[in-house]
Amino acid sequence: MVLFHNMSTVAYSTLIAVVVLIVFGTGRQPFAAAWAFVKSLVVSRKYLLFFISVIAIMLVNKNELRLEKWIGITYDLTSPLTGWEGNWHVWLQDNIHSDLLTAVCAVFYLVLFQSAMIASVGIYTQRGNMKMYYAFCIAILVNYFVAVPFYLFVPVNEVWFAHSQVHFLMLDVFPTFEQEYRSLSGLDNCFPSLHTSISVTLALLASKSGIRRWAVFNWINAGVIVFSIFYLGIHWFTDMVAGVALAILSAYVGLRAGAWAENRSHSRLLLRNRDKKSLPAME
């Protein structure tokens, strides 16, 4: 069951998913969120700087493979870190494999993972919840700041590549994955699992957002993604545990720093209003 023929198909699917998720999370048409986003970029320097920071760290991650090649790491830590896990991935694929399940897992892994990130920005911005917007940005920064050094210096190969009996099921729905997507995610960029850490981070943040349905969706999304990284033959249990730990750290730092950033903005606004009131009236 081929769902994705190239990255353009993934991009179009992501766009549709983002629109649906923003409507779901805000209860309004998506142009309201788009307008709130553009307006915030223009009128708020802090909002813009946080957004630029997130884009910058993602670009660093995108070019991680070039850094890896330049550094020239030759050792492999797959066996020392994951050798204790045995053959449970083989059992999983042999016992529950189905074309429909593979398709669902691929959609969550490729489309809904990134769609939830993008939609989070739109939802928190449209609702005027700057604390959650700042928390989201900071949490994403922490995820990448911690993960990228591990990808550079702690190479752990994907399960299917290291284990001959495990199949890379992604190819069933995205046959050109290795040519189209692999440049964004190296074979040895497993530890920690960013799909786990970011999806769980989004769920932890959504739980504090006050938007119950958004929180419920993100927990379902995180659960399916965690299952998918195993079922599709990509990640080890060790990667997932490290990803969850990173998510807890990122969400904690994000929420604390997000509250601090919002309070500073609020304090500056109060001071500005007080100064205006203290000025003598013009006669």
One-character DSSP codes across 168-236: -THHHH-TTHHHHTGGGS-TTB-SS-HHHHHHHHHHHHHHTTT-HHHHHHHHHHHHHHHHHHHHTT---
| 278 occurs within a structural domain | no
pLDDT in tens, 188-224: 999 999 999 999 999 999 999 999 999 999 999 999 9
233 pLDDT higher than 80: yes
**pLDDT band, very low/low/confident/very high, at 275 (cuts 50, 70, 90):** very low
DSSP state of 280: P
Which of 181, 183, 156, 158 lies closest to 62, judged by CA?
A: 183
Quote the pTM value. 0.91
Q: Residue 60: its pLDDT value, please?
A: 86
| Nearest-angstrom CA–CA distance, 198 and 205 | 10
| 276 occurs within a structural domain | no
CA 210 to chain centre: 20
| 1 occurs within a structural domain | no
Token code pair at residue 235? 């990640």
Q: Residue 265: its pLDDT value, please?
A: 56
> What residue type is 89 in one-letter code?
H
Domain count, the chain: 1
pLDDT in tens, 118-174: 999 999 999 999 999 999 999 999 999 999 999 999 999 999 999 999 999 999 999
Task: Residue 186: give the domain boundaries.
Answer: 7-271
Q: Residue 63: its pLDDT value, please?
A: 84
In CATH, what number is assigned to the domain containing residue 119? 1.20.144
| 170 occurs within a structural domain | yes
| 2 occurs within a structural domain | no
pLDDT in tens, 8-64: 999 999 999 999 999 999 999 999 999 999 999 999 999 999 999 999 998 888 888
